[in-house]
């Protein structure tokens, strides 16, 4: 393929791009791939998860602006482009029974209408590869599930001139992947490696709960990107309201991660090109066409 390769990563909130597939994106950017993050919501209803920033009245009052600034910093660290789809965070409902979702939020939008916003961006950017979440959202946050829904509609519709004719000239992406970085084989391998070295593992409870979480997926694609784990972590730390730099995300030394599990994982959901599984490249079957 002679033209520049392009990849779009569709995410629900600012910070998702840095916790799911960030090292992959940084790797591809270093190789000259044009990478665009599509962020569906502004993260307005996200809790302040960093204990060092909890109770800050400025952050609480200006959370939308704060999270947008964090996103800009993470984007620059990763070297990617980024666009907002403009929807409002639905929040994560908690309680029994669960409270209703807030009026006007992303998860309550009409799927076809919201997909049209993504179709327009796809037709403008013209990605060859799209990454998104599986039908469970990776975890069952209503915005993650909605992100899956609109991504699936948009992937099918973007190349169809009869659909969303107002959204620009048709463009058909060639492959669609689900992010599967939080998978049992990786978690087990890192857990075992930590214990073998006499170190504490942050994954013990995860592994005990795994069977009840329904998260076993078909891992098809393993992208070698260990050299970019440090960039991934810097981008994640840029989302300061969401990430505690002293928290569990960063308990596993980078050298150990590179030795034991130097890849990020994906599930190939749709492909319009021939490829052989397992893959080590999201553009497998595209580069030489």
- The upper half-sphere exposure of residue 274, i.e. CA atoms within 13 Å in the direction of its Cβ, equals 2
What does the radius of gyration of the chain's CA atoms come to, in whole angstroms?
A: 19
Cβ contact 273:175 at 8 Å: yes
* CA-based torsion, 230, 266, 134, 216: positive or negative: negative
Q: Select from 132, 154, 128, 153 the least CA-distant residue to 20.
A: 132
Binding residue per annotation — 144? Answer: yes
Which residues lie closer than 8 Å to 23 by C-beta, 6 or more apart?
225, 226, 228, 229, 231, 232, 264
Tell me the C-alpha distance between 198 and 174, whole Å: 45
Task: Indicate the burial class of 56 (C-beta count within 10 angstroms; 0-12, 13-18, 19 or more).
Answer: middle
Binding residue per annotation — 16? Answer: yes
Tell me the C-alpha distance between 223 and 218, whole Å: 15
Binding residue per annotation — 11? Answer: no
Q: Which residues belong to the annotated binding site for Zn(2+)?
A: 13, 16, 144
Q: Which residues belong to the annotated binding site?
A: 13, 16, 144
């Amino acid at each position: 393929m002679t033209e520049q390769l392009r990849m779009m990563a569709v995410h629900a909130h600012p910070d998702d791009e840095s916790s799911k597939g960030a090292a992959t994106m940084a790797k591809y950017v270093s190789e000259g791939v044009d990478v665009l993050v599509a962020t569906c919501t502004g993260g307005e209803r996200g809790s302040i998860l960093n204990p060092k920033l909890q109770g800050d009245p400025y952050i609480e009052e200006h959370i939308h602006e704060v999270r947008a600034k964090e996103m800009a910093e993470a984007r620059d660290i990763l070297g990617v482009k980024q666009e907002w789809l403009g929807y409002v965070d639905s929040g994560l409902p908690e309680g029994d029974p669960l409270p209703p979702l807030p009026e006007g939020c992303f998860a309550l939008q009409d799927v076809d209408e919201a997909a049209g916003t993504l179709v327009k961006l796809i037709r403008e950017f013209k990605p060859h590869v799209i990454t998104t979440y599986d039908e469970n959202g990776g975890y069952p946050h209503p915005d993650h599930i909605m992100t899956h829904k609109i991504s699936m509609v948009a992937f099918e519709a973007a190349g169809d001139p009869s659909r969303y004719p107002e959204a620009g000239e048709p463009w058909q992406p060639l492959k669609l992947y689900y992010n599967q970085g939080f998978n049992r084989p990786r978690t087990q391998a890192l857990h075992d490696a930590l214990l073998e070295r006499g170190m504490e593992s942050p994954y013990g409870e995860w592994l005990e709960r795994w069977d009840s979480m329904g998260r076993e997926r078909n891992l098809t694609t393993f992208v070698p990107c260990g050299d970019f784990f440090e960039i991934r972590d810097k981008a994640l730390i840029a989302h300061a309201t969401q990430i505690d730099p002293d928290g569990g995300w960063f308990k596993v030394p980078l050298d150990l991660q590179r030795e034991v599990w130097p890849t990020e994982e994906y599930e190939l959901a749709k492909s319009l090109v021939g490829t052989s599984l397992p893959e080590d490249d999201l553009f497998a079957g595209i580069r030489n066409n």
